[in-house]
């Protein structure tokens, strides 16, 4: 079977690596891909925003399944157009993808169906936002309503910081994503990521992870798209995972199906584990990045079989995903200046030596220039390793990181710190 993978980041490299292991795979294409993905797929020069070109490519190359990695093409309705033309697609249509595309959409759905989440208010102008702030204490969470590459969240500790956050949002600091806001109460607890795959009817758990969003050690500095992750997250116990599925994910999927806009694909629930149980922080309509990297390293099932069954509405007919009992941990190597102004063009050496240690180096923001891998984005590499537990996976990942020669890069040195502290 021929497959087209949409995307160019570390998430898509991990998916390409796993798809290439399937005995069901014929040809794997990737648009636009990156140098790491090129090890497993034929790269094609298609802009995912050009739906007609994507459809034409699939028709000419006998593509049977399209896997959409990033959120933007999903929110833009690429899956809708591909499905209209008869292609199987792993990823939700435009309206259910609003679970990620609009935080207000998600919060309103939660309110209608009594899904546990933080108290909130919506605002589309400065005056409304300032009025809404009076209903919340401090700290307070201020979120851009639209897509902001994982960076559109500001936790204001003081009234002045809240006003600065409003200025950042409404003055275009997050582009159009900040033209409307969601203001939320600050929840106390530990965060965890829970994944499920669904064809709109059947819902199957797909593992847990814990991301590290802040740019600096000790969870300091601004939010990023993610500086590292590990899986599984032991803080999300089987009991809490069941509650997340029963109280959050399943009601969401049922609500969308009942409204005539069924969700098909992977649903990523960012959770806060509070004293009252898990509460939804936000949804993502695709695999997380870098959570996808650790999930794919632990996945023992055929990812293509699972994706195809999901796309065809036959998820109940295949065995549920099977994961290794061990752990995986990934460390993101980013370009200096990230997340504000990452330096591009820095050379990267030592990848083969790092891989020789048993780690997998998933390319994110890389390019090939005169035979040399260079930085071409903010998050550049996701160095990922496995072990019998998080501490061992952490040691293996950082050994591989030390072998990479990336002078214009940096990374956090404490990925997995909560889990390793719990093990002491």
**Other C-beta atoms lying within 10 Å of the C-beta of residue 358:** 12
Cβ-proximal residues to 137 (8 Å cutoff; 6+ apart), any chain: 185, 186
In the chain, the largest separation of any two C-alpha atoms, in whole Å, equals: 58
Strands 214-216 vs 220-223: parallel, antiparallel or unpaired: antiparallel
Q: How confident is the model over 104-150, as pLDDT tens digits?
A: 999 999 999 999 999 999 999 999 999 999 999 999 999 999 998 77
Distance CA 1, CA 362 (A): 24
End-to-end CA distance of the chain: 47
Instruction: Identify any residues that bridge with 320 across adjacent strands, giving them in sequence order.
Output: none
Q: Is 414 helix (H, G, I), strand (E, B) or coil?
A: coil
Per-residue pLDDT tens for 250-294?
999 999 999 999 999 999 999 999 999 999 999 999 999 999 999
Residue 209 and residue 294 in contact, taking contact as beta carbons nearer than 8 Å:
yes
CB proximity list for 10: less than 8 A, separation 6 or greater: 289, 290, 292, 293, 332, 362, 363, 364, 379, 381, 382
Q: What is the pLDDT of residue 178?
A: 86
pLDDT digits (tens, 9 = 90+) for 6-64: 999 999 999 999 999 999 999 999 999 999 999 999 999 999 999 999 999 999 999 99
Reported as a pLDDT band with limits 50, 70 and 90, residue 152 is confident
| Mean of the per-residue pLDDT values of the chain | 96
Residue from 278, 261, 222, 282 nearest 102 by CA:
282
Question: Using one digit for the tens of pLDDT, what is the confidence trace for 59-114?
Answer: 999 999 999 999 999 999 999 999 999 999 999 999 999 999 999 999 999 999 99
Cα 31 to chain centroid distance, Å, stands at 18
**C-beta separation of 103 from 118 below 8 A:** no
- Distance in angstroms (rounded) separating the CA atoms of residues 31 and 366: 15
Task: Output the pTM of the full model.
Answer: 0.96
| Separation CA 264–CA 241 (nearest Å) | 20
What is the predicted pLDDT for the residue at 392?
A: 98
Cβ atoms of residues 137 and 191 within 8 Å: no
């Amino acid at each position: 079977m021929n497959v087209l993978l949409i995307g160019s980041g570390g998430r898509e490299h991990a998916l390409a690596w796993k798809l290439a292991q399937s005995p069901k795979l014929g040809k794997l294409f990737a648009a636009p891909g990156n140098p790491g993905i090129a090890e497993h797929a034929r790269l094609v020069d298609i802009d995912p925003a050009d739906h007609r070109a994507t459809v034409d490519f699939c028709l000419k190359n006998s593509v049977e399944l399209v896997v959409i990695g990033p959120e933007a093409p999903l929110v833009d309705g690429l899956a809708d157009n591909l499905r209209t033309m008869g292609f199987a697609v792993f990823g939700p249509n435009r309206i259910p993808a609003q679970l990620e595309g609009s935080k207000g959409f998600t919060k309103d759905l939660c309110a209608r169906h009594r899904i546990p989440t933080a108290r909130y208010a919506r605002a589309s102008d400065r005056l409304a936002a300032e009025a809404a702030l009076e209903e919340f204490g401090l700290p307070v969470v201020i979120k851009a309503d639209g897509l902001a590459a994982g960076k559109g969240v500001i936790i204001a500790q003081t009234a002045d910081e809240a006003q600065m956050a409003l200025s950042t949002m409404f003055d275009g600091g997050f582009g159009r994503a900040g033209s409307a806001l969601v203001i939320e109460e600050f929840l106390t607890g530990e965060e965890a990521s829970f994944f499920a795959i669904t064809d709109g009817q059947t819902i199957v758990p797909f593992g847990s992870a814990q991301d590290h969003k802040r740019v600096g050690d000790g969870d300091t500095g601004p939010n990023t798209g993610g500086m590292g992750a590990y899986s599984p997250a032991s803080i999300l116990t089987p009991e809490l995972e069941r509650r997340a599925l029963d109280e959050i994910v399943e009601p969401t999927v049922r609500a969308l199906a009942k409204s005539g806009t069924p969700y098909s694909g992977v649903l990523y629930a960012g959770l806060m584990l509070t004293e009252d149980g898990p509460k939804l922080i936000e949804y993502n309509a695709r695999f997380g990045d870098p959570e996808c990297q650790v999930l794919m390293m632990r996945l023992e099932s055929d990812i293509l079989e699972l994706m195809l069954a999901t796309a065809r509405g036959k998820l109940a007919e295949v065995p549920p995903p099977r994961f290794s009992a061990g752990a995986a941990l990934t460390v993101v190597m980013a370009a200096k200046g990230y997340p504000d102004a990452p330096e591009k063009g820095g050379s990267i050496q030592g990848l083969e030596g790092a891989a020789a240690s048993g780690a997998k180096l998933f390319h994110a923001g890389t390019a090939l220039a005169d035979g040399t891998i260079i930085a071409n984005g903010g998050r550049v590499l996701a160095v990922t390793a496995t072990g019998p537990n998080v501490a061992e996976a952490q040691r293996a990942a950082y050994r591989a990181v030390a072998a990479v020669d990336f002078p214009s890069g940096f990374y956090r040195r404490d990925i997995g710190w909560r889990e390793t502290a719990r093990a002491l």
